[in-house]
Amino acid sequence: MRWLGDRESGNVEDRRGEGGGGGMIVGGGIGTLVIALVVYLLGGDPSTILNQQDTSSPTMPSAQVNSQADDQAAKFTRVVLADTEDVWAKLFNKDGDQYRAPTLVMFRQRTRSGCGTAAAESGPFYCPVDKKIYIDLSFYDELRQRFQAPGEFAMAYVIAHEVGHCIQDQWGILDKVHQAQERMGEVEANRLSVRLELQADFLAGVWARYYQETENRLEEGDIEAALRAANSIGDDRIQQQTQGYVQPDAFTHGTAAQRAYWFMKGYKTGDIKQGDTFNSNEDARLQ
């Protein structure tokens, strides 16, 4: 992936020097569970975000010193975010609309978000309350070690997926999904969440298509790295690893095959109109 020297986004909050701190109280009720379905990404545990009371003192700077590798990861994150801004601004403008880019918050261990306390264990997520993406940079290591998905483009896919949720928010899809889930049982709500996640995977693929078309910036193995990431964080793979069996009714993000399929559809078509996962049953990919 050729990215060194590219523009870095200014829509970034670097909180790596902060020492944790609590978040707003988010607990109880169906509404909270609905928010959890949105911010629960990549196999994370929503309990690390929800049901936490802000009993700590205000966040204070810590003595943590960012390593050279950590700073490189931060630079990479800024560059990828900048490219998503460029791509989606052009696509929105083409349709006569204006893209509202999210702010990305980089942190270590814990930080506050509009959806509660963001913790390393929760994984990267988009918070629709404050319109921000939260990423603990240690997830780079987890993606490589736990999910066996090394490579820069694997992390770029994760960032693009979260930006996909921001786009869904701007389109009004998140609100519609939330409202529908409040009237559903758990199994039906989970199925709707899967469709939401697969559309974000599709949008990540669309971004990858236009990224590649700009001076042929992808290198051999980059798309394969993204597919490994998509496969590794499928609900079926994660459930098999963590509990030893697969429980389809509990899926909230889709199977490994579904996630890879919709990412590649976005990459191959580059057409956002082809990503209506809510009304599509093509190839039984949503069954």
DSSP-assigned beta bridge partners for residue 253: none
Q: Higher confidence at residue 148 or residue 203?
A: 203
pLDDT tier at 137, thresholds 50, 70, 90: confident
Q: What is the pLDDT of residue 57?
A: 37
Backbone CA torsion sign across 83, 278, 255, 41: positive
Residue 6, classed as helix, strand or coil, is: coil
Q: What is the mean pLDDT of residues 151-155?
A: 77
Other Cβ atoms within 10 Å of 232 Cβ, number: 21
Give CA separation, 261 vs 66, 110, 222, 238, in Å.
37, 33, 16, 18
Distance of CA 103 to the CA centre of its chain: 13
Is residue 103 predicted with pLDDT exceeding 90?
yes
Is residue 8 a contact partner of residue 71, using CB atoms and an 8 Å limit? no
Domain borders along the chain are 12-284
How open is the CA angle 135-228-118, to the nearest 5 degrees? 15
What's the pTM value of the predicted model, to 2 decimals?
0.74
Q: What is the mean pLDDT of residues 221-237?
A: 55
pLDDT tier at 224, thresholds 50, 70, 90: low
DSSP assignment of 114-156, as one string?
Answer: TTEEEEGGG-SEEETTTTEEEEETTHHHHHHHTS---SHHHHH
Q: What is the mean pLDDT of residues 69-96?
A: 92
